[in-house]
């Protein structure tokens, strides 16, 4: 099957942020997305810089930026989208929050959005599909040459656990403390075509993969590839989907900046004829598990010889090494947000600290997430504090 990879400006960026809808007083998830989207859609019909759409469950809306030349531009789009959504949620007593999982929600209380693609997914996947009470972020980075796509995906796979550790925000699941920093990442990979990308070498191998999967009825088209990193042919991007939902906008911008500078750095390495880093697939899989289990306390395998480093140390080195690329892309200040996450902890750590302080009351954890999302600084405010 021939699949066209659209033309896209190099290292441009787009963001998708999946948000929970919760009752203001109880923190329970509420199935209000269809009602809200009908009202929002009419009000924002002519808006071009962002979109607000539904997802698998009716307790979720997704805000999506336009194509940004910089991380800040894309982040401002999603901030404006959230402000627009709040104009409809606030009067209805609905709060917005984001994490990889809701601390106490149960799958059997949730409603599936009435769309054919979602009904088909649930019909096929049954219990696992109904258990997809997960929220994430997706970061798209433009790639100007289809020949670069799979070399870039292979190199990014080395850094997937770093991104996963920074974003880890799902330590609780259906009222239980899981012992994992990112339970979401291990739940999501249970879906067919989800999980780590296959180690393909070029676009022709991807087209062959699609031929096999479509021909055997596993999927309808490339949009049903749900890998942790996947090509997005329609947009001409690489889409990183491994991250849990981020609880604040500056943290989202930090992870987006790290993703963007990694793609641009590896693209420059290809331009210079240098070999990109890679790991054996079994090391990639082990690293994913370690990041899911231990988050920022993980010790990762960083090269083909099996050398291991604490993810915190390797992240600090990576941020400093990529500083020049970040300057060129105009996201240096956003990238320093990675160091702020390392200093203050990721959302998973903050949630468990709250739970420990209130004898495990997960309703207090949800209220903490609501406050973080509502009261946390916008990116504009965050950058102003950094002097910009």
> What pLDDT score was predicted for residue 256?
98
> What pLDDT score was predicted for residue 103?
98
Tokens coding 162: 């770093």
* pLDDT of 107 above 70: yes
With cut-offs at 50, 70 and 90, classify the pLDDT of residue 2.
confident
Tokens coding 178: 């899981």
Tokens coding 186: 């291990």
| pLDDT tens-digit map of 190-215 | 999 999 999 999 999 999 999 999 99
Which region among 109-113, 152-156, 374-378 has the lowest average model confidence (pLDDT)? 374-378
**Domains assigned to the chain:** 13-377 (3.30.590.20)
* pLDDT of 45 above 80: no
Mean pLDDT estimate for the chain: 95
Distance CA 88, CA 79 (A): 15
The CB density around residue 369, as the number of other CB atoms within 10 Å, is: 28
pTM assigned to the model: 0.95
With cut-offs at 50, 70 and 90, classify the pLDDT of residue 137.
very high
| pLDDT tens-digit map of 251-289 | 999 999 999 999 999 999 999 999 999 999 999 999 999
With cut-offs at 50, 70 and 90, classify the pLDDT of residue 381.
low
Per this entry, what is the length of the chain? 388
> What pLDDT score was predicted for residue 380?
65
Are the CB atoms for 63 and 19 separated by under 8 Å? yes
Mean pLDDT within 27-40? 96
Where are the strands (E) in the chain, listed by range? Answer: 13-23, 50-54, 60-65, 94-97, 137-142, 172-173, 176-177, 194-195, 226-227, 229-232, 237-240, 299-301, 308-310
Q: How many CA atoms lie less than 13 Å away from 239 in the CB half-sphere?
A: 22
> What pLDDT score was predicted for residue 255?
98
């Amino acid at each position: 099957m021939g699949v066209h990879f659209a033309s896209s400006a190099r290292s441009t960026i787009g963001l998708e942020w999946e948000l929970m809808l919760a009752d203001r007083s109880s923190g329970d998830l509420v199935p209000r997305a269809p009602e809200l989207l009908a009202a929002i859609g009419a009000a924002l019909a002519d808006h071009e810089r962002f979109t607000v759409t539904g997802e698998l469950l009716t307790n979720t809306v997704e805000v999506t930026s336009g194509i940004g030349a910089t991380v800040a531009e894309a982040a401002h789009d999603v901030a404006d989208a959230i402000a627009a959504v709040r104009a409809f949620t606030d009067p209805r007593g609905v709060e917005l929050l984001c994490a990889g999982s809701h601390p106490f929600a149960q799958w059997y209380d949730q409603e599936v959005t009435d769309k054919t693609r979602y009904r088909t997914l649930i019909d096929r996947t049954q219990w696992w599909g109904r258990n997809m009470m997960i929220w994430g972020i997706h970061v798209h980075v433009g790639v100007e040459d289809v020949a670069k796509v799979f070399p870039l995906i292979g190199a990014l796979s080395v850094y997937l656990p770093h991104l996963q550790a920074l974003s880890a925000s799902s330590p609780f699941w259906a009222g239980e403390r899981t012992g994992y920093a990112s339970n979401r990442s291990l739940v999501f990979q249970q879906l067919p075509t989800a999980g780590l990308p296959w180690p393909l070498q070029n676009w022709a191998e991807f087209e062959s993969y699609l031929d096999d999967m479509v021909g055997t009825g596993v999927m309808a088209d490339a949009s049903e590839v749900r890998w942790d990193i996947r090509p997005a042919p329609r947009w001409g991007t690489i889409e990183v989907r491994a991250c849990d939902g981020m609880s604040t906008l500056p943290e989202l911008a930090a992870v987006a900046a790290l993703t963007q500078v990694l793609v641009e750095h590896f693209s420059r390495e290809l331009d210079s004829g240098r070999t990109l880093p890679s790991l054996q697939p079994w090391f990639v899989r082990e690293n994913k598990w370690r990041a899911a289990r231990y988050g920022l306390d993980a010790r990762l395998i960083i090269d083909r010889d099996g050398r291991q480093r604490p993810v915190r140390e390797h992240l600090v080195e990576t941020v400093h090494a990529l500083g020049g690329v970040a300057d060129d892309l105009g996201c240096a200040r956003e990238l320093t947000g990675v160091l702020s996450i390392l200093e203050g902890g990721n959302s998973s750590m903050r949630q468990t600290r709250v739970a420990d302080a209130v004898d495990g009351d997960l309703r207090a954890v949800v209220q903490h997430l609501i406050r973080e999302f509502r009261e946390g600084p916008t990116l504009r405010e965050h950058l102003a504090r950094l002097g910009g």
